Structure formats: C-alpha cells, structure tokens
Amino acid sequence: MKTNTSNAHIISPKPLTTKGRILEAARILFNQHGTDEVSTRQIATELGISHGNLCYHFPHKEDIIEALYKQLAEAMNAQVLALQAVPEKEPTTQKTKRTSTKKTHLPIVPENQAPISLQGLLAGTVSSFEILYQYKFLMLDFVSVMRKLPSVRAHYTELVRLRKQQFAALREQCVREGWMKAEVAGRLDETMNEALFIVGDFWMASAEILYEGEESKKIPYYAKVMEALMVPLLTEKGLRELAATTPAEAV
C-alpha cells in the first residue's frame, strides 16, 4: 500500500523529524484508507523505517491517532484565535477571559476583539474546512475514534464547550457591529447555533458519501451550505453585505 508522501499533502514547510514523518505518513494513509485498514507496520513500510523504530515513538496506533487529533485541535485553535485577533494598536492592554483550560490547555477567549466582517467570517469558514479536510479520517471515523480513545473524547467534549463560548463572544461582536441579530425567534436561536456546530464538525460524511461534484469544488460547496445556515441570523445590513460578498462557488 505504497503512496506518495512527498507532495502537497505535507502540512509543515519545515523538515520533519522521524516522529513528524510518522505522523504525516499516517495522516495520509488514514485519510486514504481509514484508521481500521492501516496498521503501524504499513506506516513503517511507507516510510522505509523498521517497525521497532516507529514503535519507539508511538507504541500503539492509537497513540498516532491521538497525536494527529491534537495536531488538528491546535490548528483549529490557531484558526479561531486568528479570527478573534485583537487590534494591533492595543497589544499590551488587551484583556482576556480564561475558560476552563486546566484539563485541556485550551486558549483564552479575547474580550476586546478586532472588527469582524461577514466576508472575513465566511473566509474563515473556508479556511477551517480546509484544515478539517486535511484530517478527514478523524471526521469520518469519528464515533470509532471516540469510543477507542476516552482521552480524545474527553478533550473533544471540553473543546466543544469552549468553541460554543467563543462563538457566543464572536456573535456578540457581530451583533454590536450591526450585521447579525441578537436573537432569532427565541428558543429557535439555540437550535440554529447547534445546527451550525453539527454541520461545521460533521459535513465530511456527506462530502465523502453523497457529493458528486469536482474535488476542487467540494470545500466551497460545503462552505456555501454553512453560509446558508447563517442567513436567518443576519440583519438587513448583514444581508446586504452577504449579497456584496463573492460567494463560494457551488456545483
């Protein structure tokens, strides 16, 4: 099951250590075949190293899966914090709000965020989907991974709590800027928030099974689905900004 790992799949521009090469090869193989169909011996063969060398760094396949999950979580943390970036003119006076980070070492949530445009939020959605797609095996094997790795499940549960707090802070900012509604039909508001999270985390299954368009248009298509879910949250100002925004190309 030899595949090409020296191509555009590589995420890091820096030379990879043996540990990094193992993770990168495993990520590609898991994406192609699923976690159940790939063994540590196959990963070692892919890299041209001994199985013992691989096991020195990762004694079990589950250790590799958890390390890749942590890579994804860190990449998504950086994406969220980039969206919440504070104005450069106030680098030393920024106040922050800490959210239960003791167990999972999750990032802080800025209180004084920089202005956020709808266009920037939609671009951030595309970037987030691109990151998730690099680790699509985690989304496709999600239930199996969570059942096998309680530590990952615990971290993910805590991470979702944080993400919801971050989204609430983000939405408050958008409301203050006038392009997002403070509330949508009472209890429906909470349901719509949940729908955004479900699509954001689990669109990959639909993309893998049902999507029939060109591969290059897959992520823009599902970003467009996410955009459609946001429409009821927008004010008249937000709808005008959406109409003026170049839409993600759909198939």
pLDDT in tens, 155-209: 999 999 999 988 888 888 899 999 999 888 666 778 888 999 999 999 999 999 9
**pLDDT of amino acid 236:** 95
Asked whether the predicted pLDDT for residue 102 surpasses 70, the reply is no
pLDDT value, residue 50:
97
CB 237 within 8 A of CB 178: yes
Question: What are the domain boundaries of the chain?
Answer: 1-59, 62-244
User: Which CATH topology does 1-59 take?
Assistant: Arc Repressor Mutant, subunit A (1.10.10)
pLDDT score for 85: 57
Residue-level pLDDT at 71:
97
* For residue 231, pLDDT beyond 50: yes
Q: Could you tell me which CATH number the domain at 62-244 has? A: 1.10.357
Q: Please, which pLDDT band fits residue 113 given cuts at 50, 70 and 90?
A: low
Per-residue pLDDT at 23 exceeds 70: yes
Angle at 133 between CA 129 and CA 136, to 5 degrees: 130
* pTM, two decimal places: 0.81
